[in-house]
Amino acid sequence: MLSRNSVVLTKLKPPRLSRRILHRSRVTQTLLAALEFRLTIVQASAGYGKSTALADLADRGFNLAWYHLSSEDSDPIIFFLHLIHTCKSFIFQPESLITQLENQSGNLAEINWPGLIDELVNRMAVTLSEPVLLILDDYHQIAEAAHVSPLIDRF
């Protein structure tokens, strides 16, 4: 049974910024240019400041939804539940999506994943009036997840 307790809320918040953060205006401007595209991938080795630069956008008041991924998110139910909660503030009736998932969550193979993803996307399309950056931080943790990759591809 899914519940609100299944969601780790700290995964849905950008990391706290240090007071000593180095604001990099050129990087910020490049990231803001991402609003012109449907998908932008920010990729670099560990320690280059990707998460910090993206969290800086949230700190500056830009519309941003954050999901910090880890290996346990390779479970599609856990992934989708967190994705719904990530988008909760800007989609219509998010609880009904969770109910739909609960009603189908007996067997992974029987869940209508394309239908659930399409419903989430449709609700975003209806509700959003301005761009929102959806950050899937540390995506490499689940990039090879057999059940989650098709969900992200569809999304």
What is the chain's mean pLDDT, rounded? 85
CA-to-CA distance for 155 and 138, rounded, in angstroms?
17
Average pLDDT over residues 136-151: 90
In percent, the amount of the chain with pLDDT more than 90 equals 31
Closest CA to 114 of 126, 125, 127, 100: 100
Q: How much is the pLDDT for 72?
A: 92
Q: How much is the pLDDT for 119?
A: 93
Neighbours of 154 (CB within 10 A): 13
- Its pTM stands at 0.85
- Residue 76 vs residue 38, higher pLDDT: 76
Comparing 33-37, 72-76, 77-81, 121-125, the range with the smallest average pLDDT is 33-37
Q: For the chain, give percent helix, strand, coil, nearest 5.
A: 55, 5, 40
Q: How much is the pLDDT for 2?
A: 54
- Residue 106 vs residue 155, higher pLDDT: 155
Q: Whose structure tokens read 């990231």?
A: 31
Question: Residues 46-65: pLDDT tens digits?
Answer: 888 888 888 888 877 788 88
